[in-house]
Amino acid sequence: MGRLAGKSIIITGAGSGIGRASAIIFAREGANVVAVDRVEEAVDETASIVLEKGGVIKTVAADVGDENAVKGFVDFCVSEFGGVDGVYANAGISGGMVPIEDQTPALWEEILRVNLIGPFLAIKHASPHMIKQGRGAIVCTASVAGLRANAGNTPYSASKAGVISLVQTSANQFYGTGVRVNAVCPGLIETGMTAPLFEGARARGSEGKIGQLNPTARYGHPEEIANMALFLVSDEASYVNGQAIPVCGGLSSTHPFAPSRRGA
């Protein structure tokens, strides 16, 4: 029996990176997975990988910042699998490294819509089903950038700090219901979002320096975040609630940084 045997789990941002790794691992552990991504071809590719390994998965192409879409994929999970036992609200965007004087309200609005309103909508629409059945686990992808400065750009960091607060306040709002809400805070992970950083370093011949600022002295892999999400959504984490857990090789223990030109 797998660690998620018989459980129905929604994963957003499942078309690549951490979301894809989570879909593969959750299905391997026995979950019925609903994989959501705004890029249909990408999430279909994830499904093909899971199905080849004998897992159970359904896909939905949806925008996680659109309330009707979120309600739709939650209802789809219930109709297909008879309920929703867990949600991994993982989808997110970085917004790039734009200097603050060049950032626009539109940039902030889009990052907050996807990164913060998206998890809020997932919690809003999944939690009633969980409360009715007396149990459920919601996990959100935050970031070490939401814990302290110098791990991400301003709007991205603010959105992830908001996710951490959302997790804490939601967990307390669900007092006594059996619904747990937690966050995982990745450090530097090689995904599509961070691809420009990795590609640039490799082009310069400095790939070996990626991740050197954390005491583990390397960058992370999507599977390492997926494994933490697996724990948090499983019954093994039954007494873990309202927490934001870093998986960052130790980066968040200090958040060392190289000063910008302004700070030099």
Lowest mean pLDDT among 28-32, 77-81, 89-93, 195-199: 195-199
Of residues 167 and 258, more confidently modeled: 167
88 flagged as catalytic: no
**Whether pLDDT at 19 is above 70:** yes
Q: How would you class 210 by CB atoms within 10 Å of its CB: exposed for 0-12, middle for 13-18, buried for 19 or more?
A: middle
Predicted confidence band at 264 (pLDDT cuts at 50, 70, 90)? very low
Q: What is the pLDDT of residue 255?
A: 63
Residue range 90-124, pLDDT digits in tens:
999 988 888 899 999 999 999 999 999 999 999 99
Q: What is the pLDDT of residue 6?
A: 94
Contact 245, 171 (CB under 8 A): no
Q: What is the pLDDT of residue 195?
A: 56
Q: What is the pLDDT of residue 93?
A: 94
Which of the following is catalytic: 88, 156, 175, 239? 156
Look at residues 14, 12, 16, 18 and name the one whose alpha carbon lies nearest to residue 185. 18
**Whether pLDDT at 262 is above 80:** no
The span from the CA of 196 to the CA of 212, in Å, is: 17
Where along the chain do its domains lie? 8-193+222-245
- Structure tokens, 12: 């957003």
Q: Give percent above pLDDT 70 in the chain.
A: 89
**Whether pLDDT at 263 is above 50:** no
Mean pLDDT (whole number) for 20-29: 98
Q: What is the pLDDT of residue 215?
A: 83
Contact 219, 213 (CB under 8 A): no
Classify domain 8-193+222-245 by CATH architecture: 3-Layer(aba) Sandwich (3.40)
The CA distances from residue 206 to 25, 165, 197, 199, in Å, are 31, 36, 11, 10
Contact 71, 118 (CB under 8 A): no
Residue range 152-195, pLDDT digits in tens:
889 999 999 999 999 999 999 999 999 999 999 999 887 766 65
Strands 32-37 and 56-61: parallel
DSSP-based helix, strand, coil % in the chain, nearest 5 = 50, 15, 35
Contact 19, 13 (CB under 8 A): yes
Q: What is the pLDDT of residue 23?
A: 98
Residue range 25-37, pLDDT digits in tens:
999 999 999 999 9
Look at residues 8, 14, 33 and name the one whose alpha carbon lies nearest to residue 86. 8
Of residues 221 and 96, more confidently modeled: 221
Q: What is the pLDDT of residue 258?
A: 63
Residue 130's identity, in one-letter code, is M
Per-chain mean pLDDT for the chain: 91
**Whether pLDDT at 202 is above 90:** no
The span from the CA of 253 to the CA of 166, in Å, is: 22
